[in-house]
Chains A and B, each alone.
Chain A
């Protein structure tokens, strides 16, 4: 399904601020799988998701979706294959446009947009039905601008928009991180339902270890631009947050060791 091979990316190369964000990532996601990606800040987890989405082009390596090499495709072209929910609830919807208009935009994701009327009565009925199925009571507010909805509601709607046309791959970028716990739970419930309902292949970056162990069928941990842990199958079922914490601790110690060792070598030999 998704095949990332030897992905490398350096931001601001050749400057003092150069960041080697991806250092040879290899990742293969099977069809229908739901992969949670965790890691500390700056570990490269969001960068990896962004690389798949097409936010930037890789320096080296390739990305294939369903066998098609999309490495050189710009973001708007990849949109045909991808559904995406951002971390910021305000990123995924157009605030001054109505709920209807936002959904109409999403209902043509990756398709040509011509001079046909966007909202005829058939599409209006269909879209209202989709919103009613979420059971959030938003179907009465179809003509309100999205800016008047709460963050949680907007994130639910972004999720609906991302899956309105079935995506080959659903990308979730810490999509509950900016929400209050209750809304976050609700979003996770909706996410589960829509992934199971449409048998979606999903890549979910998350900050919450609880989330990573409780949903999905595979966990990947990233550190310093590499994948350092990859758990799936029965081992994933048994995985607990403390196992992940232990792994984080181990990584932290190893890093410190690296630094102190380097310091030691420097004082002794330089």
Chain B
């Protein structure tokens, strides 16, 4: 049960990552490889600021902001200097590896002794469930702090998902959607495509950085390696979500990314429970994405079967 609560919470945190990847890969169709670096940067900046006695919420937002700026660098390398999209992302991601080490000063920063958002969660948990450390749900003992974190994360991700949905119904949001759908038309309607690309990658990477900052606080440490494989994981969640919802409308895609991320985490948790070696996790994620890309038909058939099951 603790494992379930933990993987659900991680899934919710990573759904912000999936939202970011949805924006860059699907909405503006920019294959942004900054992700792994931006995710770590979010956590690194947050951790360093927490150590500098910053208020945790502000430190978290600064982490997101820093990651967003990394995204604008990638976008600018492509739009201003005409560097290939993939290469722009790789350059920034590689540079960020050193930047992250510089920011943190060492490769791991433990946060347990510092006030973080988890401290707030702990306080709220005491307010909600009393002083006891554990909560009884049916037969299982669950740490009440984890349950509170799960509830708050659920509210937060739903809120961010709704905000994104509303954003894509504004004039600016529509222009961003159109940029990815038909950039030639969008430009002929007076949208500065380059600026829109920079803005979208800022938004995407800020969400990714926020996800990194939250994950670092949830697991209790920031680590220079924490971003490795996040790109593929996020893409896997987005693809899984797309086949779950079965349409390309933005509202559904947002819901899909959310569900895909949580479901993917659950699948991993189950696999680990069955004795999967954690070292094989990234390999399996990559194989999953490979399968989804190469056999989309089988994949979507499986998903619609699943949809039918859920409805039934």
Contact = CB atoms under 8 A, between A and B. Distances in A.
A51 B191 CA distance: 18
A56 to B, nearest CB: 13
Nearest to A104: B174
B172 A113 contact: yes
A108 B178 CA distance: 13
Contact of A91 (B167, B184, B193): B184
A111 interface: yes
Contacts of A4: none
A118 B181 contact: no
A92 interface: yes
A11 interface: no
B172 A105 contact: no
B: interface residue count bin: 20 to 34
Nearest to B173: A118
A119 interface: yes
Contact of A115 (B170, B181, B248): B170
A77 B191 CA distance: 8
Contact of B191 (A93, A97, A113, A117): A113
B162 to A, nearest CB: 14
B118 to A, nearest CB: 32
Given A114-B172, A116-B171, A118-B169, A94 B190 contact: no
B187 A97 contact: no
Contact of B178 (A82, A91, A105): A105
Interface string B240-260: 000000001000000000000
Contacts of A110: 189-190
Nearest to A91: B184
B168 to A, nearest CB: 9
B169 A105 contact: no
Contact of A111 (B169, B173, B187, B190): B190
Interface in A93-126: 93-97, 101-102, 104-106, 108-111, 113-119
Interface in A54-83: 74-77, 79-80, 82
B190 A109 contact: yes
B189 A79 contact: yes
B171 A104 contact: yes
Contacts of B184: 86, 91
Contacts of B167: 115
A115 B187 CA distance: 19
A84 interface: yes
Contacts of A52: none
Nearest to B167: A115
Interface residues of A, number: 34
Nearest to B172: A113
A241 to B, nearest CB: 31
Contact of B171 (A93, A96, A115): A115
Contacts of A117: 169-171
* Contact residues of B: prevailing secondary structure: helix
B177 interface: yes
B26 to A, nearest CB: 10
A53 B171 contact: no
A94 B188 contact: no
B150 interface: no
Given A115-B171, A116-B171, A118-B171, A105 B186 contact: yes
Contacts of A114: 170-172
A97 B181 contact: yes
B190 A76 contact: yes
Given A91-B185, A95-B182, A118 B170 contact: yes
Interface in B163-207: 167, 169-175, 177-178, 181-182, 184-193
Nearest to B177: A97
Contacts of A115: 167, 170-172
Contacts of B171: 104, 108, 113-118
B147 to A, nearest CB: 35
Contacts of B170: 113-118
Interface string B77-102: 00000000000000000000000000
A114 B176 CA distance: 11
Given A114-B171, A118-B171, A76 B187 contact: yes
User: Which of B174, B175, B184, B189: most chain A Cβ within 10 A?
Assistant: B189
B174 A105 contact: yes
Contacts of A111: 190
B172 A75 contact: no
A80 B190 contact: yes
Interface of B: 167, 169-175, 177-178, 181-182, 184-193, 248
13 contacts: A74-B192, A75-B187, A76-B190, A80-B190, A91-B182, A92-B188, A97-B181, A105-B174, A106-B189, A109-B190, A114-B172, A115-B172, A161-B189
Given A105-B174, A113-B175, A118-B173, 6 more contacts: A79-B188, A96-B248, A97-B177, A113-B174, A115-B172, A118-B171
In the complex, the 3 A-B pairs of residues with the closest C-beta atoms, listed nearest first: A79-B190, A110-B190, A94-B181
